[in-house]
Chain A
Amino acid sequence: MNLENQFNTRKPPVATTGLIGWLRINLFSSWFNTAVTLLVLYFLYQIIPWFLDWSILSADFTHNYKGEKIIDRTFCSRVANPEEYHGACWSIIIVRFYQFIYGFYPVDQVWRANLTYFLLAVALIPLLVENLPYRRHLIKFTIVFPIIAFVLLYGGFGFEIVPTNKWGGLLVTLVLGVFGIALAFPLGIILALGRRSKLPVISMVCTLFIEFIRGVPLITLLFFGMVMLPLFLPEGINMDGLVRVLVAVTLFQAAYMAEVIRGGLQAIPQGQFEAAQSVGLSYWQMNRKIILPQAIRITIPSIVNTSIGLFKDTTLVIIIGLLDLLGIGRGALSDATWMGLSNEVYVFVAIVFFIFTFSMSRYSLYLEKKLKTGINMGAD
């Protein structure tokens, strides 16, 4: 019997507050909130016009205030005539744009990097759009994407080899970020399950690994990957520098991911395990179908949180000589022709990082919303 249809229920009253009502409730509900609102408005009033003026209205792009093409720092309006001009000089970014995006990737092979960027976007689509036709098959592409990307970027299979010391800029940042997160996620799940295992050896090995990695700063692991890892490898095998860094980054991220996922596993009621076992599911089936989907769902905010952290931490590779986005920026600044334009470089790098990390955080919100609809997770 459907109780909802037994009585004619009334709809809730329609909100009639409108814009003024919204402002009153959200911005001016008390004298304190009013004061905070006004203060924030004042700061925005100070900052936004100033930033717009600096970054766009008064800024140089390719030509300076005299209409000359900017070829080094002395042509920048704010360098040539600091009395009157103060706007940004984006030429440093424009001139070195290629380096920022690809590093020192050979120009005649750059289509491979472009194709990889494009395929990355394609691989992300099934994660972003839910009601996509053939989504199940597209997800398969997403899963194999890292392999395709590696072959495309590095070479082999008929492609010319582009050694990783030629890679740089956004390419290195994304390779470390995307590969690091993509590889650390499954590894983290296995470590989390391992730590909770009833078999003492497995649980001890996983616990030791996680605690060791978590107890060590990422920089130490990067040095370890760079300097010590080659000593452990058999003679004659020379591991690529970027791969060594990637190993360090992945292990680091996996340990954190494992603890996040373990937290999710602990939140799953015992009854779920028992119900799964009582219908005859095996250990792996139970985890794959029942436990992990729920555990991952409740830990999405934390998973994205550590992923964003990792993405930003990739800038640390600069200390072992890899030139990621920030490294390329610093390289540009140490070049005598462009010295002194650090504001422009750091603002540009910050904006690029912000675009990626902010997208990740919006994606996490989207996932949370999507997974909540219609599903009441038992206890709550």
Chain B
Amino acid sequence: MSEDSIISLSNVNKWFGDFQVLQDVNLEVKRKERIVVCGPSGSGKSTMIRCINRLEEHQEGTIIVDGIELTGNLKNIDSVRREVGMVFQQFNLFPHLSVKENITLAPIWVKRMPKAEAEELAMQQLEIVKIPEQANKYPGQLSGGQQQRVAIARSLAMKPNIMLFDEPTSALDPEMIKEVLDVMVELAEAGMTMIVVTHEMGFAKTVANRMVFMDEGRIVEEAAPEKFFNNPESDRTKLFLSQILNH
């Protein structure tokens, strides 16, 4: 792996039963790099990023995150999860806790931060995602877009070096997609290392340093967005782009 890589996947293979979901995946991500992963459903995009914080276990190959190799070693897994924040398609906020408690929970329990400090931190994060006025509500009282922004704030509160986004806007009504993407663009501008699985190609064009196209568990094409959208090499990529861009 190269010197400045923060994430490095080499020859990663993974099966669900007999079905191979990841086939010889190799990916190097540099610090502050922003990668957008796209591809048809079932192509292994989500599985790949879920392997990076060990929500899924890979069976072959190596994954190294910020110098820590992901193995069965629980300590390593904990350290990696502290480095890596994740935002899910279904938000996955904790419904029994208020917005503020959702955000302060991990700093208080994982980092042993005093409560007052954690609450101040939570308010800062809510400012970043532009909903400080919702701090005392419960997730069920918020719109989808607001919930997703709380989820982003919750991840940011752990001060991760890397953020993974697993189709963060796919479960949102169209008019709420922008408010979430705006937050993600600001995050990118602030220098966060990001891997984003999304079909929002407008977002990809403005934010991504590199596009990764996956199909059938393989990385089919990796290119700068300019080249990826205007002059893709693989026929599979061309077909995919023609389908999602011309509708």
Q: How far is the CB of B53 from chain A (nearest CB, A)?
A: 6
Q: How far is the CB of B93 from chain A (nearest CB, A)?
A: 7
Using A280-B82, A377-B95, A378-B95 as known contacts, say yes or no to A274 and B55 having CB atoms under 8 A apart: yes
Q: Is residue B140 contacting chain A, with contact meaning CB distance below 8 A?
A: yes
Q: Is residue B231 contacting chain A, with contact meaning CB distance below 8 A?
A: no
Q: Which residues of chain A come closer than 8 Å to B151, judged between CB atoms?
A: 275
Q: Which residues of chain A come closer than 8 Å to B36, judged between CB atoms?
A: none
Q: Is residue A131 contacting chain B, with contact meaning CB distance below 8 A?
A: no
Cβ contact within 8 Å between B86 and A278: yes
Cβ contact within 8 Å between A271 and B81: no
Q: How far is the CB of B245 from chain A (nearest CB, A)?
A: 30
Complex-state Cα separation, A278 to B53, whole angstroms:
7
Q: Is residue B106 contacting chain A, with contact meaning CB distance below 8 A?
A: yes
Cβ contact within 8 Å between B96 and A281: no
- Residue ID in chain B nearest A297 by CB atoms: B96
Complex-state Cα separation, A353 to B151, whole angstroms:
48
Cβ contact within 8 Å between B141 and A374: yes
- Chain B binder among A169-177, A245-253, A288-296: A288-296
Q: How far is the CB of B121 from chain A (nearest CB, A)?
A: 13
Complex-state Cα separation, A292 to B92, whole angstroms:
16
Using A278-B53, A280-B78 as known contacts, say yes or no to A375 and B109 having CB atoms under 8 A apart: no
- Residue ID in chain B nearest A376 by CB atoms: B140
Using A274-B88, A289-B105, A376-B139 as known contacts, say yes or no to A279 and B110 having CB atoms under 8 A apart: yes
Q: Is residue A277 contacting chain B, with contact meaning CB distance below 8 A?
A: yes
A-B contacts at CB below 8 angstroms, number: 78
Cβ contact within 8 Å between B88 and A279: no
Cβ contact within 8 Å between A282 and B92: no
Q: Which residues of chain A come closer than 8 Å to B82, judged between CB atoms?
A: 280
Complex-state Cα separation, A272 to B155, whole angstroms:
14
Using A374-B141, A378-B95, A378-B140 as known contacts, say yes or no to A279 and B155 having CB atoms under 8 A apart: yes
Cβ contact within 8 Å between A279 and B93: no
Q: Which residues of chain A come closer than 8 Å to B158, judged between CB atoms?
A: 279-280
Q: Is residue A26 contacting chain B, with contact meaning CB distance below 8 A?
A: no
Q: Is residue B26 contacting chain A, with contact meaning CB distance below 8 A?
A: no
- Residue ID in chain A nearest B154 by CB atoms: A279
Complex-state Cα separation, A293 to B154, whole angstroms:
19
Q: Which of A274, A275, A289, A293 has the most CB of B within 10 A?
A: A275
Q: Is residue A30 contacting chain B, with contact meaning CB distance below 8 A?
A: no
Cβ contact within 8 Å between A290 and B94: yes
Q: Is residue B168 contacting chain A, with contact meaning CB distance below 8 A?
A: no
Q: How far is the CB of B79 from chain A (nearest CB, A)?
A: 9
Cβ contact within 8 Å between A275 and B96: no
Q: Which residues of chain B come closer than 8 Å to A271, judged between CB atoms?
A: 88, 90, 92
- Residue ID in chain B nearest A283 by CB atoms: B74
Q: Is residue B203 contacting chain A, with contact meaning CB distance below 8 A?
A: no
Q: Which residues of chain B come closer than 8 Å to A272, judged between CB atoms?
A: 92, 94
Question: Of A279, A282, A297, A375, which is within 8 A of B105 by CB?
Answer: A279
Q: Is residue B229 contacting chain A, with contact meaning CB distance below 8 A?
A: no
Complex-state Cα separation, A289 to B94, whole angstroms:
10
Query: For chain A residues 287-338, which have a beta carbon within 8 Å of chain B?
Result: 289-290, 293-294, 297
- Residue ID in chain A nearest B81 by CB atoms: A280
Cβ contact within 8 Å between A376 and B141: yes
Using A374-B141, A375-B138 as known contacts, say yes or no to A277 and B81 having CB atoms under 8 A apart: yes
Complex-state Cα separation, A272 to B90, whole angstroms:
10
Q: How far is the CB of B95 from chain A (nearest CB, A)?
A: 5
Cβ contact within 8 Å between A282 and B78: yes
Complex-state Cα separation, A39 to B154, whole angstroms:
59
Q: Is residue B225 contacting chain A, with contact meaning CB distance below 8 A?
A: no
Q: Which of B53, B94, B139 has the most CB of A within 10 A?
A: B94
Give B82-122 as 1s and 0s: 1 = Cβ < 8 Å from A's Cβ atoms: 10111010101111100000000110011000000000000
Q: How far is the CB of A330 from chain B (nearest CB, A)?
A: 46
Q: Is residue A266 contacting chain B, with contact meaning CB distance below 8 A?
A: no
Q: How far is the CB of B175 from chain A (nearest CB, A)?
A: 11
Show 29 A/B contacts (Cβ-Cβ < 8 Å), sorted by A: A271-B88, A271-B90, A272-B92, A274-B55, A274-B88, A275-B88, A275-B93, A277-B53, A278-B84, A278-B85, A278-B155, A279-B85, A279-B154, A280-B78, A280-B81, A280-B158, A281-B106, A281-B109, A290-B94, A290-B105, A294-B95, A297-B96, A374-B138, A374-B140, A376-B140, A376-B141, A378-B93, A378-B95, A378-B140
Known: A274-B86, A278-B53, A278-B81. 9 other contacts (CB 8 A): A271-B92, A275-B94, A278-B85, A279-B81, A279-B106, A290-B94, A376-B140, A376-B141, A377-B95
The 4 A-B pairs with the shortest beta carbon distances in the complex, nearest first, are: A376-B140, A275-B92, A271-B92, A279-B106
